[in-house]
Amino acid sequence: MKRSLFGRIWPNATAVVLFVGFAFPVYWMFATAFKPTGDIISENPVWFPTDVTFDHFKKAVDADHFWTLVLNSVTVTVLSVVFSLVIALFAAFALARMRFRGRRGLIVTFMLAQMAPWEVMIIAIYMIVRDNDMLNSLVPLTVFYTVMVLPLTVLTLRGYVAAVPKELEESAMVDGCTRTQAFVRVIFPLLAPGLMATSLFGFITAWNEFPLVLILNKDVEKQTLPLWLSQFQTAFGDDWGATMAASSLFALPILILFIFLQRKAVSGLTDGAVKG
């Protein structure tokens, strides 16, 4: 099909504009974090940091208990993502591949669970955790984050399981595999990109959560990074260099994770399209 010059240019031009629009805030965060303060508060923005400084990062990391918070955040996030993936995989398999009474109701249950507004229930959660003597602990955080991301994980994984051709499983079973073996050897490898892609939602949710940890864990040593970031911001107010350095440090692990996992997931998608 022939396209006019205009027809060829505008998609690319739009893509560039969109790229700038989406990437700029992230770029500006990193750029500000590396700029000396004089370049940050200047009448005309300095678009590209020329003298790179690490002072802001030093200030950001200098906070009390910083590394404890990092450890707590990583622990809680990784555990809740792993737990929710494992639990959800069982459920997703049943929902995608089996026929049983109450299936419809269960799917809608997960849809409803996905709607739960956790932030508005924090007093109820607080009282439950308090009355069970579990305050200042990472356990309730892990549990609640797991349940927070579980419904969407189930619903999403269900799609991935359903997309694995059933014949593959059946032929494996004809070859003498049990259903479990067929799952582990045939379906699971095919599900890997799906699992990775699904985990992103969990990572971002658990990594970012702060109203709950704010009320549950008053002990600094049991807090997580979002609290550090939000308190940092009030404490340093208009010190944008340090605030952006803190934001960069906070966002970086998730950004890396997304770029890494998303590439796999998307390439899985395109592969499928090419082969199809």
Partner 1 sequence: MSVQTEGTDTAGGPAVRKARVPAPRGETPAPGTPSRRGAAAPYLLLLPALLATVVFLGWPLVKNGMLSFQNLNPRQLIQHLTEWNGFDNYRDVLSEAEFWHVVERSVLFTAANVVLIMVLGTLTGLLLARLGKRMRLLLLVGLVLAWAMPPVAATTVYQWLFAQRFGVVNWTLDRLGWHSMADHNWLSSQFSTFAVVLLLLVWGSVPFVAINLYAATTTIPRELYEAASLDGAGAWKSFTSVTLPFLRPFLYATTFLEVIWIFKSFTQIFAINEGGPDRLTETLPIYAFVEGVGNQHFGVGAAISFLTILVLLVITAYYLRMALKQEEDEL
Partner 2 sequence: MKRKLAAAIVIAGMMVSVSACGGDDGDDSGKNAGPDSFKGQTLTVWAMDGSTPDQWVKDVTAAFEKKTGAKLKFETQKWDGIQQKITTALSESNPPDVLEVGNTQTPAYAVTGGLADLSDLKSEIGADWTPSVSQSSVYDGKQYAAPWYFTSRVVIYNKKIWAKAGIKDIPKTRDEFFKDLETIGKKTDAEPLYLPGQNWYLFDGMIIGQGGDLVKKEGDKYVSNLGDAKVAKAMEVYKKFQSYSKAPKDKDEANPQQAEVFAKGKTGAFIGMGWEAGTAVTANKAIEKDLGYFPIPGETAAKPESVFLGGSNLAVAQGSKKQALAKEFLKIALSDQYEGELAKLNGVIPNKKALESNLKGNAVAEAIAPGAAVGGTTPLIPEWGAVENTPNPIKAYMTAVLNGKSPADAAKQVEAEINKRLAQEN
Give, as ranges, the residues between 200 and 219 that touch partner 2 (CB under 8 A).
215, 218
Q: How many CB atoms lie within 10 A of CB 42?
A: 11
Q: Residue 234 interacts with partner 2 (CB under 8 A)?
A: yes
Residue 53 Cβ, how far from partner 1 at the closest point, in Å? 17
Phi/psi of residue 210, each to 5°? -135, -25
* Residue of 120, 237, 273, 276 that binds partner 2 (CB under 8 A): 237
Using CA atoms, how far residue 80 sits from 4, 59, 206, 262, in Å, is: 52, 30, 7, 20
Segment 103 to 162, residues that bind partner 2, using CB under 8 A: 126, 130, 133, 135
Region for residue 133 given its phi and psi (left: phi exceeds 0; alpha: psi -120 to 50; beta: otherwise): left
Residue 54 Cβ, how far from partner 1 at the closest point, in Å? 19
Residue 48 Cβ, how far from partner 2 at the closest point, in Å? 25
Q: Residue 78 interacts with partner 2 (CB under 8 A)?
A: no
In the bound state with partner 2, the residue whose beta carbon lies nearer, of 71 and 215, is: 215
Helices (H) and strands (E) in the chain, counts: 13, 0
* DSSP per residue, 200-256: HHHHHHHHH--HHHHHH--SGGG--HHHHHHHHHHHHTT-HHHHHHHHHHHHHHHHH
239 binds, among partner 1, partner 2, none (CB under 5 to 8 A by kind): partner 2
Give the binding-site size for partner 2 (rule: CB under 8 A): 14
In the bound state with partner 2, the residue whose beta carbon lies nearer, of 66 and 201, is: 66
Report the interface residues with partner 2, using CB under 8 A: 126, 130, 133, 135, 215, 218, 220, 231, 234-239
